[in-house]
Amino acid sequence: MSKNKSEYLINRHDNQYEVVIGLEVHAQVTSESKLFSTSATKFGAEPNTQVSLVDAAFPGMLPVINEYCVKQAIKTGIGLKAKINKRSVFDRKNYFYADLPQGYQISQFKDPIVGEGKVILDMPNGQKEVGIERLHLEQDAGKSIHDLDPKNTFVDLNRSGVALMEIVSKPDLRSPDEVNAYIKKLRSIMRYLGTCDGNMQEGSLRADVNVSVRKKGSKEFGTRCEIKNVNSIKFMQMAIEYEANRQVDLIEDGQTIDQETRLFDTKKNETRSMRSKEDAHDYRYFPDPDLLPLEVSDDFIENLKSEIPELPDEKKKRFIEKFKLSPYEANILVSDIETSNYFENVIKKSDVKLATNWIIGELFAALNEKNLEISESPISAGNLSKLINLIKDGTISGKIAKTVFEQMMKGDKDPQKIVEEKGLKQESDPKALEALIDKVIDDNRDKATEYKSGKVKLFGFFVGQVMKVSGGKANPQLVNEILKKKL
Amino acid sequence: MSDITKQSLSELVENIKGKKLSSSEVTKAFVERSKKSKELNSYITEDYANALNKAKKFDEKPNLDLKLPGIPMAVKDLFCTRDLRTTAGSKILNNFVPTYESTVTQNIWNEGAILMGKLNCDEFAMGSSNETSFFGNVQNPIDKNLVPGGSSGGSSSAVAAQLTPITIGTDTGGSIRQPASFTGTVGLKPTYGSCSRYGIVAFASSLDQAGPMAQNVKDCALLQEVISTYDEKDSTSIDFKRNEYSKELTKDIKGKKIGIPKEYRVDGMPKEIEDLWKKGIEYAKDCGAEIIDISLPHTNYALPTYYIVAPAEASSNLARYDGVKYGFRAEGETLIDMYEKTRSEGFGAEVQRRIMIGTYVLSSGYYDAYYLKAQKVRKLIKNDFDDAYKKVDAILTPSTPSSAFKIGEKTNDPVSMYLNDIFTVPVNLAGLPGISIPAGHDAKGYPLGLQIIGKAFDEQNILNIAYAMEEKINFKNNINDWWIK
Amino acid sequence: MSINLKTIKHISKLSRISVDEKKAEKLAEDLNSIFDFIEKLNELKTENVEPLTSVAETTLKLRSDEVKSKNLRDQVIKNSPKENEDYFVVPKVIE
């Protein structure tokens, strides 16, 4: 871990405060059916159409666990370099709420399925390791809708019972930027593993944020507040900033901080106390007597290990070593599984250096402009590969390639065909070029004389003219060579 | 045939299979008798018209290969039955009509039986006298104003009064065996995991088991054979090889080692119970069994353990009755107001009491002292049985510390009510099978039962012992139909 | 031990069961007599005993990840106390 030169500190009067952040990330497990019932998990279904009798807690209904969700949790644990617990226990967390049909949530309290692990963050000043405390499986609750009726709250249980992984970090994060990097890295790992789609808009990834502050240099933790259920990185960062400043103000004012649950109001951009929910919080955890301990064998875990794909950290290392990419380039290319897959498909048949530049440069800029994900790219990896080969073998110049690329962005067309149809092929025939150059020199006799008398700067002018006359198709290298001779 | 309702299940099956009786005749006889027996209050919901229709349909195309061909029966109202109201004896489920069927009842219908109605029980099976039911107490057919036991009190009274040839109950701490003992009938609590809990309104998940109640051991064995199946829908259902209990039933128990636990000689046990137990030991010897004294040292701790574990689980299991999805709702200004009114008005006093106990023992600061402690003592209780079964094949005890008591006698003293289950509760805590068979009468002429406790999954063995002893005991129930005018 | 009215009020709140003074007093009395009897467990030393949660001496069986429960909205909503075609309805919640 390198010493961070741009520490995130809050200054008040003569005091400097450090912010201590821990995250409880709730990641929806990618699965067809729910954790303890056989109803579907699809996002966006009509209200209450994906609710089984188990999900709605009908009398006598019993939970039966989904094997795939167990596997997904273990895979995620492996991805977090964490200890997999061969025996884990499901507990009931008891509380009443309209969208919690059983009156309890089945979760894991004392014996989670995954123990301690770690995540490596690439920060501008070097790498930072964030400890993972644990990962456990639990049920999601339903959704309360407060704005459909003036007097009533409506409840949709479609989400009730969907499997979640709660990933608890150690209080190792120190700034909103680190939180950003942490969430992105976690999301990236889970997307590589296929265990969570990481879609924050659809609520597949949400977090409770624990924030406390302490004077710089202090070893003791301050009193923390938990900001519940924040569903975007931007809101997390805003909430942390607001909350940390609020706590510092309280301390500077000689007041104490209450350990409490707070809510981030996205409209007012502030956190506020959820006292209404506080007073009766005693979850009375106890082992769910409808379920037995979950035990997995060494073979079960080993089989899952063999299914783990290369993860971003390992991939980055390989890209740097094998393809001689810079750490910066490698980081960008491995940050998302779709991007790294795209990159690896492009370089199957084309030059690595050119591919790297084109993807990070032109492609990202173009996608960004159209607000597209790489998975939605109009240009397939195969066609980008072809384009790069056309540059590499001199068929087209880099400049023409940009024109071709623009065409390709309008629809996935074979670059070869675009070049042929539009006659964009690079002119590399020395005779043809000589003729062109002769004509340019002829047309600009005065400038040629000036050049010969020592005004060498004019060389660029002639190159430009030749390219113009050739419609950009002239091979720039040859043009250079011939021009030098002729002038 | 005027004596149809006096026939045992085995006789009825034989007569239907031999085409001496039709399902309609049998069903009609039991329906008629049930109709005349309203005073017992055994039923919560009657479904007679449908039962008669189903019997008619059965007779049109009888499948005589089934184990319960066209046999009518009523079941405890804790089993969810598709399209027929299921209340668990509670106001909070007063209007609840399931769209699904419990596995145990489905198994019964699959073998050709016909549902006549739902039988009264203590609210959410919490009680030992059927007095906590929202639908009123049940009369014991033995004598007016006598409780039929509980929580399966509607079931025990209905079998004893011959309103149904057989029935099923549920047993969390004695709710099949104690009412069987109070009514001179036979009741089996199977090994935990033997019968699926799917579709049974839950009381305490780690203790609840469904089981058969009948007039004799053979009928009980046949019904157990039907209801006990492995069920993927219940994570605690156990996949073991189940016997054909009725076919394999034998009176030959020669050489079986039967343990007599000294700790069951509790303080203040009535002499009648002590005498009954001694008689039982003699019967067992007569059958060729070997009697061995054993010790179950933690017996005295079973009830306190039970009254932590069962309420703790119940407090959580009953959280789903909140007025949101189904059942009774009391209107409220806010969500919390609605919850508190619904649960306060919807649950009876005993259920509220147990929810409170359970909430308390799980609450922050008390978990270790109560719930965790109870789980540890539960382990000690189970260890006692494990040790005993190294020496014996089964254990013989009285079923209850007294005969049936008067309605209202114990309602104001919860602890004295709880003490009723002193001999049955350890069996649930250890997850073992236990059967109560009628073995004699007290001075008032009320029936008394003996309990035979088996090893886990050894139902066949205790059924055999019960079968052999039943013959020696030759019990006759004194029921004079006092309620039929 | 003694369970006082404050404790009764607290657990009634956790249980979401309303109690008035009279009911609270009766409950306190009942619970105290029940806990007197439960305290018997304190006679036993249990430091080295493993707690027993379930007598079923097996572990959890796992089901395959298949959608079997179809759209049951009509069935699921059918028993609900407040009528609405699509949703369960409760008094307005203000967070």
The DSSP string of A282-306 is ----EE-TTSPPEE--HHHHHHHHH
Nearest CB among B238, B336, B341 relative to C56 is that of B238
* Tokens read off for A325: 């990419």
Total tally of structural domains belonging to chain B: 1
- Using a CB-CB cut-off of 8 Å, the residues of chain A touching B316 are 92, 94, 103-104, 284, 286
pLDDT tier, A280 (very low <50, low <70, confident <90, very high otherwise): low
Who contacts A343 (Cβ-Cβ below 8 Å, separation ≥6)?
Answer: A333, A355, A356, A359, A381
- Note whether A149 contacts C95, CB cutoff 8 Å: no
pLDDT of residue A276: 54
> Is B351 part of any domain?
no
What is the dihedral sign for C-alpha B123, B129, B131, B136? Answer: positive
> Is residue B354 assigned to a domain?
no
Tens digit of each residue's pLDDT (9 = 90 or more) over A54-100: 999 999 999 999 999 999 999 999 999 999 999 999 999 999 999 99
Q: Which CATH number do you get for residue C29?
A: 1.10.20
Q: Which of A151, A274, A284 sits opposite C92 (nearest CB)?
A: A151
pLDDT over 70 at B115, yes or no = yes
User: Is B230 a domain residue?
Assistant: yes
pLDDT of residue B1: 47
- Report the b/e string of A114-144 with b at 16+ CB within 10 A: bbebebebbeeeeebebebbbbbbbbbbbbb
Query: In this predicted structure, which of A132-136, A296-300, A332-336, A423-427 has the lowest mean pLDDT?
Result: A423-427
Question: What percent of chain A stands above pLDDT 70?
Answer: 98
Q: Which tokens go with A478?
A: 């040859």
**Angle at CA B260, nearest 5°, toward B256 and B263?**
155
User: What integer is the mean pLDDT of B121-144?
Assistant: 97
A138 three-class SS: strand
Residue B104: inside a domain: yes
DSSP A210-261: EEEEEETT--S----EEEEEE-SHHHHHHHHHHHHHHHHHHHHTTPPPPP-E
Distance from CA of B127 to the nearest CA of C (A): 15
Could you confirm whether B155 is annotated as catalytic? no
Residue C1 reports pLDDT greater than 60: no
User: Is the per-residue pLDDT at A439 higher than 90?
Assistant: no
Q: Residue B153's pLDDT is what?
A: 98
pLDDT score at A279: 53
Tens digits of residue pLDDT in B147-176: 999 999 999 999 999 999 999 999 999 999
d(CA A326, CA A328): 5
DSSP state of A16: E
Token pair listed for A190: 């889970």
Q: How many CB atoms are closer than 10 A to CB B15? A: 17
The answer as to whether C58 is a domain residue is no
- A2 pLDDT band, cuts 50/70/90, is very low
A374/A367 Cα distance (integer angstroms): 7
Tens of pLDDT along B428-481? 999 999 999 999 999 999 999 999 999 999 999 999 999 999 999 999 999 999
- In a domain? residue B307: no
Q: Buried (b) or exposed (e) across B251-260, using 16+ Cβ within 10 A? A: bebeebebbb
User: Can you read off the two tokens belonging to residue A438?
Assistant: 């002769």
* d(C-alpha B230, C-alpha B457), whole Å: 13
Grade residue B81 by pLDDT with cuts at 50, 70 and 90: very high
Arithmetic mean of pLDDT, B178-207 = 98
pTM score: 0.93
**Contact residues, A window 86-145, toward C, CB-based 8 Å cutoff:** 89, 96, 98, 144-145
- Judging by beta carbons within 10 Å of its beta carbon (0-12, 13-18, 19+), is residue B96 exposed, middle or buried? buried
Position A419 confidence tier, pLDDT thresholds 50, 70, 90: confident
- Residue to mutate among C17, C61, C72, with most A CBs inside 10 A, is C72
Those residues with Cβ within 8 angstroms of residue A483's Cβ, 6 or more apart along the chain or in another chain: A437, A459, A462, A463, A466
Residue B390 annotated among the catalytic residues of the structure: no
Question: Can you tell me the mean pLDDT for A210-228?
Answer: 94
Assigned domain for B226 exists: yes
What phi-psi label fits residue B276: left (phi over 0), alpha (psi between -120 and 50 degrees) or beta? Answer: alpha
Structure-token match 């103000």, residue found? A249
Strands B447-454 and B257-261, sheet pairing: unpaired
Pairing of strands B114-119, B72-76: parallel
**Judged by CB atoms within 8 Å, which residues 134-163 of B form the interface with C?**
none
Average model confidence (pLDDT) across chain A: 92
Instruction: Evaluate if residue B67 carries a pLDDT over 80.
Output: yes
Domains and CATH numbers, chain A: 9-305 (no CATH), 310-421 (no CATH), 430-486 (1.10.10.410)
Residue with more model confidence, A284 or A349: A284
Pairing mode, strands A225-230 and A261-265: parallel
Mean pLDDT of the residues in chain C? 92
Range of the domain at B459: 4-297+383-473
Residue B303 covered by a domain: no
Pairing of strands A104-107, A91-94: antiparallel
Neighbours of chain B (3+ CB pairs under 8 A): A, C
Cβ contact B388:B257 at 8 Å: no
Give the range of the structural domain holding residue C19, as residue numbers without chain letter: 5-43
Per-residue pLDDT for A278 more than 80?
Answer: no
Using alpha carbons, select from A356, A18, A68, A413 the residue that is nearest to residue A217: A18
- Please give the biggest Cα pair distance in chain B: 69
Percent of chain B surpassing pLDDT 90 = 96
What does pLDDT average to over chain B? 97
Look at residue A66 and give its three-state secondary structure. Answer: strand
pLDDT tens digits for A229-240?
A: 899 999 999 999
DSSP string for residues in B132-168: S-TT----BTTBTTB---SSSHHHHHHHHTTSSS-EE
Whether residue B455 lies within 8 A of chain C, CB to CB, comes out as no
Rounded distance, CA B399 to CA B391, Å? 22
Q: Give CA–CA dist B169/B88, Å, rounded.
A: 12
Q: Which of B37, B175, B196, B246 is an active site residue?
A: B175
Per-residue model confidence as pLDDT tens digits over A5-33:
568 999 998 899 999 999 999 999 999 99
CA distance readout (Å), B57 to B51, B106, B364: 10, 18, 57
pLDDT band at residue A1 under the 50/70/90 scheme: very low
Does the beta-carbon distance from B347 to C7 stay under 8 Å?
no
How many whole angstroms separate alpha carbon A44 and alpha carbon A75?
Answer: 27
- Strand (E) or helix (H) holding B451: strand B447-454
Nearest Cα to Cα of residue A200 among A218, A186, A219, A214: A186
Q: Which helix (H) or strand (E) holds C14?
A: helix C5-15
State how far the alpha carbon of A6 is from the alpha carbons of A174, A237, B327, in Å.
11, 17, 60
Confidence of residue A395 (pLDDT cuts 50, 70, 90): confident
What DSSP letter does each residue of B57-74 carry, written as one string? Answer: HHHHS--TTSSSTT-EEE
Residue B248 lies inside a defined structural domain of this protein? yes
- Do B319 and A94 count as a contact with CB atoms less than 8 A apart? yes
C-alpha pair distances (Å), A426 with each of A357, A416, B123, B265, B481: 21, 12, 90, 107, 111
Closest-CA distance of chain A to residue C2, Å: 21
| Mean pLDDT of the B262-267 span | 91
Contact of B116 with B193, CB cutoff 8 Å: no
Amino acid at B484: I
Residue C56 is assigned to a structural domain of this protein = no
Encode pLDDT of B338-389 as tens digits: 999 999 999 999 999 999 999 999 999 999 999 999 999 999 999 999 999 9
8 A C-beta contact, residue C73 and residue B343: no
Rounded to 5 degrees, φ, ψ at A12 are -140, 125
Q: What are the tokens at B268?
A: 């203040």
Nearest residue in chain A measured CA to CA from C88? A155
Q: Which residues contact A10 (CB under 8 A, 6 or more apart)?
A: A16, A17, A19, A213, A244, A245, A248
* Of the candidates A106, A127, A146, the residue with the CA atom closest to the CA atom of residue A3: A127
φ, ψ for residue A226, nearest 5 deg: -105, 120
Known catalytic membership, residue B128: no
| Partner-chain contact B307 C34, CB within 8 Å | yes
Number of domains in chain C: 1
CATH code: domain of residue B92: 3.90.1300.10
pLDDT for position A277 = 52
> Burial level of C6, CB count in 10 A (0-12/13-18/19+)?
exposed
A93-152: pLDDT as tens digits: 999 999 999 999 999 999 999 999 999 999 988 899 999 999 999 999 999 999 999 999
Find the mean pLDDT for residues B6-18: 97
